[in-house]
């Protein structure tokens, strides 16, 4: 019995010595189930501690690591294929590195308990694949989505430029397609195009009502539409034409029922107020500005009132002229009668002198 144990010990020592000097060992080596020891490879001097080599001409994997029940190609977690491809969670990597599995955290970087960390993972949501770059506390930093079948271009970085939908952007930011910029509410700004050209559009907080629209082309003769509010310009506006719509126009001045202020009354109003009736004061204009449509209406009202004043004055002048002409004729006729009477008187006087 002692000889048998000695023989086994010598055989084991011989195997260890053979392995220590790089001898070839066939078969497989494994520890007993439940073994709590660990395997440690160490080397002094240059070179790697462990070399794993697949013989020339072989297409089999160089290394596979598994967990759970032991068996060839069973529960494999990590593989290094003969072509150098590395697979994590797969035995068939189709790239230099393939990470497979339905994992929320595919690749982690840094300490996951603080803001030094991040991770990269893929998901499949709403029938579309996503590639996500995530910070430690889960907000997305980058999120790439394949929008349609065969659409392979997502985002490109080229010579300091960023392209979305293109891999060769020619500007700092170039978007090949439409874009949507959301706000705090349901409002958003849309940059899009149609067969006529590009346009920029803003929707209000309900997400459906159009607030304004700017086109790169004319729609019914209009390129910009603002549905509420207006435009504030601290500078000069240069244009060829301005069209202002208004709900009122002062043709009522020419109606029979319109009461025009008499000039005497108008003079008294101007002396008392320092401006024309229905016209804003200088102070009001300085504080509030003017409404072009409203002001043009009021100015036209004054022009039409002035026209009516001129017509009235013209009628008065005609009446005065007619009166003066008639009076002149009357005076002329009267003068003629006076002169005729004077001639008669002169003859009578001469006749009396002759008789004396």
Instruction: Show the domain range for 333.
Output: 250-355
Show the tokens assigned to 64: 């596979």
Q: Determine the pLDDT at residue 7.
A: 43
User: Would you say residue 150 lies in a domain?
Assistant: no
User: Would you say residue 229 lies in a domain?
Assistant: no
Helix (H, G, I), strand (E, B) or coil at 146: coil
Helix (H, G, I), strand (E, B) or coil at 265: helix
Instruction: Count the domains in the chain.
Output: 1
User: DSSP labels for 196-261?
Assistant: S-EEEEEE-TTSSSEEEEEEEEEETTEEEEESSS----SS----S------S--GGGGGSTT--PP
Type and span of the H or E element at 63:
strand 63-66
User: Would you say residue 351 lies in a domain?
Assistant: yes
Q: Determine the pLDDT at residue 253.
A: 93
Q: Phi first, then psi: what are they for 134, rounded to 5°?
A: -125, 145
Burial of 203 (0-12, 13-18, 19+ CB in 10 A): buried
253-256, long-range: CB < 8 A, 24+ apart: 253/301, 253/304, 253/305, 253/308, 254/304, 254/308
For the entire predicted model, the pTM comes to: 0.45
Buried (b) or exposed (e) across 22-40, using 16+ Cβ within 10 A? eeeeeeeeeeeeeeeeeee
Q: Say if residues 211 and 225 touch (Cβ distance below 8 Å).
A: no
Q: Among 167, 189, 187, which residue's Cα sits nearest to residue 178?
A: 189
Q: Among 89, 97, 86, 41, which residue's Cα sits nearest to residue 63?
A: 86
User: Would you say residue 20 lies in a domain?
Assistant: no
User: Would you say residue 230 lies in a domain?
Assistant: no
Q: How far, in Å, CA of 257 to CA of 267, rounded?
A: 22
Q: Say if residues 161 and 169 touch (Cβ distance below 8 Å).
A: yes
Name the DSSP class of 74.
S
Q: Determine the pLDDT at residue 245.
A: 85
User: Would you say residue 48 lies in a domain?
Assistant: no
User: Would you say residue 202 lies in a domain?
Assistant: no
Per-residue pLDDT tens listing for the chain (356 residues): 444 444 444 445 454 444 545 556 566 666 676 777 777 778 888 888 888 888 878 889 999 998 887 778 888 999 999 999 999 989 999 999 888 876 555 677 766 666 667 777 666 665 566 666 666 665 555 566 555 555 555 677 778 888 887 777 889 999 888 888 888 788 899 999 888 888 999 998 888 899 999 998 887 778 888 888 778 888 998 988 888 888 889 999 999 999 999 999 999 999 999 999 999 999 999 999 998 899 999 999 999 999 999 999 999 999 999 999 999 999 999 999 999 898 888 888 888 877 76
Q: How far, in Å, CA of 192 to CA of 255, rounded?
A: 52
Q: Determine the pLDDT at residue 6.
A: 45
């Amino acid at each position: 019995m002692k000889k048998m144990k000695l023989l086994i010990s010598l055989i084991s020592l011989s195997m260890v010595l053979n392995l220590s000097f790089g001898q070839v060992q066939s078969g497989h080596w494994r520890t007993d189930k439940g073994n709590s020891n660990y395997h440690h490879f160490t080397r002094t001097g240059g070179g790697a501690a462990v070399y794993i080599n697949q013989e020339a001409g072989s297409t089999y994997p160089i290394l596979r690591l598994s967990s759970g029940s032991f068996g060839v190609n069973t529960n494999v977690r990590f593989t290094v294929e003969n072509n150098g491809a590395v697979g994590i969670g797969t035995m068939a990597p189709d790239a230099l590195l393939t990470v497979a599995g339905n994992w929320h955290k595919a690749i982690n970087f840094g300490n996951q308990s603080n803001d030094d960390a991040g991770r990269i993972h893929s998901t499949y949501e709403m029938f579309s694949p996503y590639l996500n770059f995530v910070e430690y506390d889960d907000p997305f930093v980058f999120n790439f989505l394949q929008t349609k079948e065969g659409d392979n271009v997502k985002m490109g970085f080229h010579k300091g430029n960023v392209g979305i939908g293109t891999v060769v952007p020619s500007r700092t930011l170039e978007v090949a397609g439409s874009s949507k910029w959301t706000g705090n509410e349901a409002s958003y700004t849309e940059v899009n195009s149609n067969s006529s050209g590009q346009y920029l559009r803003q929707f209000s907080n309900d997400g459906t009502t159009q607030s304004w629209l700017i086109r790169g082309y004319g729609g019914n003769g209009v390129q910009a539409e603002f549905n509420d509010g207006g435009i504030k310009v601290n500078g000069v506006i240069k244009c060829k034409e301005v069209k202002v719509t208004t709900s009122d126009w002062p043709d009522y001045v020419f109606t029979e029922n319109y009461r025009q202020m008499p000039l005497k009354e108008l003079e008294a109003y101007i002396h008392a107020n320092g401006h024309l009736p229905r016209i804003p004061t200088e102070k009001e204009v300085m504080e509030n500005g003017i409404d072009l449509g409203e002001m043009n209406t009021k100015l036209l009202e004054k022009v039409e009132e002035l026209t009516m004043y001129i017509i009235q004055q013209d009628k008065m002048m005609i009446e005065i002229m007619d009166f003066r002409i008639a009076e002149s004729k009357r005076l002329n006729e009267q003068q003629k009668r006076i002169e005729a009477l004077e001639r008669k008187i002169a003859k009578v006087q001469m006749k009396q002198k002759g008789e004396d």
